[in-house]
């Protein structure tokens, strides 16, 4: 039985990427062994923006109520408390890649925990102490978090973003089948993802 490998470009600060993660992970579980997800970096905020204020950020999170209202959505809440605003996209991606270097299970735990912490629990996932706490809560070895600071991890993060731009992606989530540069952008309903994947599996004789 062949496996359809889906490459997903995503950003941890994007609410639509959270919805896509929930749906695609559910589809991967439904089609166990037939679909495999690979997550890659897209940087919506590649650099820190010192002009952002917490109050402006709180107002922005009201927009999360739109993706929250969709079926098969992540667990959102508007921003509570005084943490943040998040600085830029890179810090959580570095931590996710450090987890990925420990294996697929470690990555899956961190990947979902980062999204849930940010969108569901108003935690600043660009803050070093918060990232460490999430890492430990996922049961990962504390000393291995240092992998996130290794130069090649940042190089990989930036290279994946550059690859997305080269492929013509100007937004996230964007998904393509491994080996095929054509892609779809947007957090589509679960049924639409399912039909698309099943067509690709049928075409591949899987």
Q: Which domains does the chain have, with CATH numbers?
A: 4-203 (3.40.30.10)
> Where are the alpha helices (H) located in 52-89, listed in sequence order?
54-60, 65-68
Whole-number pLDDT of residue 165: 96
CA-nearest of 102, 116, 108, 115 to 146 is: 102
Q: At what angle do helices 104-121 and 15-30 cross, to 10 degrees?
A: 140
SS3 content of the chain, % helix, strand, coil (to 5): 50, 10, 40
Whole-number pLDDT of residue 180: 87
Whole-number pLDDT of residue 206: 58
Residue in this structure with the two tokens 């496996």, named with its chain if needed:
3
pTM given for the model: 0.95
Whole-number Å distance between alpha carbons of 95 and 138: 12
Q: Averaged in consecutive runs of 10 residues, what is the pLDDT profile of the chain (206 residues)?
A: 90 98 97 94 95 94 98 98 96 98 98 98 98 98 98 98 95 93 93 94 78
| 3-state class (DSSP) for residue 108 | helix
Backbone angles phi, psi at 199, to 5 degrees: -65, -45
């Amino acid at each position: 039985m062949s496996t359809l490998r889906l490459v997903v470009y995503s950003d941890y600060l994007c609410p639509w990427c959270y919805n896509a993660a929930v749906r695609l992970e559910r589809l991967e579980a439904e089609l166990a062994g037939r679909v495999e997800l690979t997550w890659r970096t897209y940087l919506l905020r590649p650099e820190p923006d010192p002009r952002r204020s917490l109050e402006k950020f709180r107002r922005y999170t009201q927009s999360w109520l739109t993706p929250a209202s969709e079926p098969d959505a992540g667990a959102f809440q508007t921003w509570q408390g005084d943490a943040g605003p998040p600085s830029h996209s890179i810090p959580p991606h570095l931590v996710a890649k450090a987890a990925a270097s420990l294996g697929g299970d470690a990555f899956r735990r961190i990947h979902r925990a980062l999204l849930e912490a940010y969108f569901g629990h108003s935690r600043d996932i660009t803050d070093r102490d918060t990232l460490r706490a999430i890492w430990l809560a996922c049961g990962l070895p504390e000393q291995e978090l240092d992998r996130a600071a290794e130069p090649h991890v940042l190089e990989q993060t930036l290279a994946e973003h550059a690859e997305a731009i080269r492929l013509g992606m100007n937004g996230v989530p964007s998904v393509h089948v491994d080996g095929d540069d054509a892609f779809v952008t947007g957090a589509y309903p679960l049924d639409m993802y399912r039909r698309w994947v099943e067509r690709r599996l049928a075409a591949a004789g899987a």
